Amino acid sequence: MRRMVRSAVVAAATFCMVGLAGCAASTPDIVSAPAKVRQVTESSHCGLTGPGLLLVTSDAQLSKYLGLPAQNLATQQLRNVDLEREFLLFVTLGKKSTSGYGVRLTSAEIHGDVLDIRAEVRSPPKDAILAQVMTSPCAVLAVEPGNWNAIRVTGIGDSPLLLRP
């Protein structure tokens, strides 16, 4: 899987270089295409305390991130993902001081050499009463490798999250 992703990156990078060399006086077209991304699960207790993106491409990696303190994830659903065909992307919100937060996938598209993922953050209503427990919300996405060399997730914070596999 690691090699597959890297191959895609190299291929994309090569394409870009060719594009630049061949079109020195013009801007290459941005190609948009649907991306094969699906949400496997989401949880308010992922145990990952930093906001960001975490790419999991192997079972050993996955095992490392399952069973973190204060975690309650649908582990079997994650283990059922064929990591040879897809990899897992944890989109994490980081620590939250109460219940009521969540994140979910809304759309995914390939723009040029970037896999653009849009996510939506769910926050508790302002006037709600909330459980006073520390939470660590995340969504876990299954992503098929494609002809892109970076993942950009928008909708999580003020600025996009960027990951170069």
Binding residues for another protein, rule: CB under 8 A, are: 1, 41-45, 47-50, 52-55, 58-60, 63-65, 67-76, 79-84, 95, 97-102, 104, 122, 124-125, 127-134, 136-137, 162-165
Minimum CB separation of residue 29 from another protein in Å reads 25
Rank residues 31 and 133 by Cβ distance to another protein and give the closer one. 133
Question: What's the angle, vertex CA 101, arms to CA 100 and CA 102, rounded to 5?
Answer: 125
Q: How many CA atoms lie within 13 A of 89 on its CB side?
A: 31
Query: Cα–Cα distances in Å, from 10 out to 18, 43, 46, 56, 137?
Result: 12, 34, 32, 19, 33
Rank residues 35 and 81 by Cβ distance to another protein and give the closer one. 81
Minimum CB separation of residue 52 from another protein in Å reads 5
Contact yes or no for 156/103 (Cβ under 8 A): yes
Residues in the chain: 165
Minimum CB separation of residue 77 from another protein in Å reads 8
Minimum CB separation of residue 157 from another protein in Å reads 14
Rank residues 4 and 11 by Cβ distance to another protein and give the closer one. 4
Rank residues 34 and 67 by Cβ distance to another protein and give the closer one. 67
Distance between first and last Cα of the chain: 11
Rounded Cα–Cα distance for residues 17 and 22 (Å): 8
Rank residues 30 and 85 by Cβ distance to another protein and give the closer one. 85
